[in-house]
Structure 1
Amino acid sequence: MEHQILRTPLSKKKAQGARLLFDTHKEKLEDYVDRLLWWNNKINLVSRGVSRETIKKHIEHSLVLTQSDWFLQANKVIDSGTGGGLPGIPLAICGNEKHVHLNDIVTKKIMACKNMASGLSLNNVSSSSHSIEKAGFAGDELLVSKHAFKIGDLCKMLEPKKWKRIILLKGGEEVGNEVVDVAEPLSINVIDLMPGFGDEFYKGKAMVEISRRQ
Structure 2
Amino acid sequence: MTVYDSYLVNLCDMFHVKLSNGQVDQFNRYYELLVKKNEVMNLTAITDYHEVCLKHFADSISLSQYYDMSSVDSLIDVGTGAGFPGIPLKILFPHLNVTLLDSLNKRLLFLEDVIDELDLDNIKTVHSRAEEAGRMKNLREHYDLCVSRAVANLSTLSEYCLPLVKVGGNFISYKAGEVEDEINSAKHAIKKLGGKIKRVEEFSLPDSDISRSFVIIEKVNETSNLYPRKPGTPNKKPL
**What TM-score results when the alignment is normalised by the length of structure 1?**
0.80
Answer yes or no: is the 8 Å Cα contact 1:77–1:100 preserved in 2: yes
Deviation readout 1:36-57 (Å, 9 max, x if unpaired):
111111111111x631211111
Q: Structure 1 residues 15, 134: CA separation in 2 closer, same or farther (over 3 Å shift)?
A: farther
Answer yes or no: is the 8 Å Cα contact 1:14–1:67 preserved in 2: no
Shift of 1:140: 4.0
Deviation readout 1:136-161 (Å, 9 max, x if unpaired):
23444200112433210022235655
Alignment match of 1:165 (pick from 162, 166, 170): 170
Deviation readout 1:6-28 (Å, 9 max, x if unpaired):
xxxxxxx995224x348772111
Show structure 1 runs of 5+ residues with no match: 1-12
Identity %: 22
**Distance between the aligned counterparts of 1:144 and 1:159, measured in 2?**
10
Answer yes or no: is the 8 Å Cα contact 2:171–2:216 preserved in 1: yes
Match of 2:199 in 1: 189
Q: Structure 1 residues 184, 168: CA separation in 2 closer, same or farther (over 3 Å shift)?
A: closer
Deviation readout 1:148-193 (Å, 9 max, x if unpaired):
3321002223565554311121124134325515334322422112
**Distance between the aligned counterparts of 1:52 and 1:119, measured in 2?**
19
Answer yes or no: is the 8 Å Cα contact 2:80–2:150 preserved in 1: no
Match of 1:16 in 2: 15
Q: Structure 1 residues 61, 161: CA separation in 2 closer, same or farther (over 3 Å shift)?
A: closer
Match of 1:106 in 2: 104
Query: Pairwise CA RMSD of aligned residues?
Result: 2.6
Deviation readout 1:103-143 (Å, 9 max, x if unpaired):
11111111111111111111121011111222223444200
Is it true that 1:180 corresponds to 2:185 in the alignment? Answer: yes
- Which segment is superposed worse, 59-68 or 166-175? 166-175
Q: Secondary structure at the match of 1:197?
A: coil
Instruction: Give the 5 Å matches for 1:2-151.
Output: 15-18=14-17, 20-21=18-19, 25-47=23-45, 50-57=47-54, 58-135=56-133, 136-151=139-154
Answer yes or no: is the 8 Å Cα contact 1:62–1:86 preserved in 2: yes
Which structure has the greater CA radius of gyration?
2
**Distance between the aligned counterparts of 1:159 and 1:76, measured in 2?**
14
Q: Secondary structure at the match of 2:84?
A: coil
Show structure 2 runs of 5+ residues with no match: 1-11, 134-138, 222-239
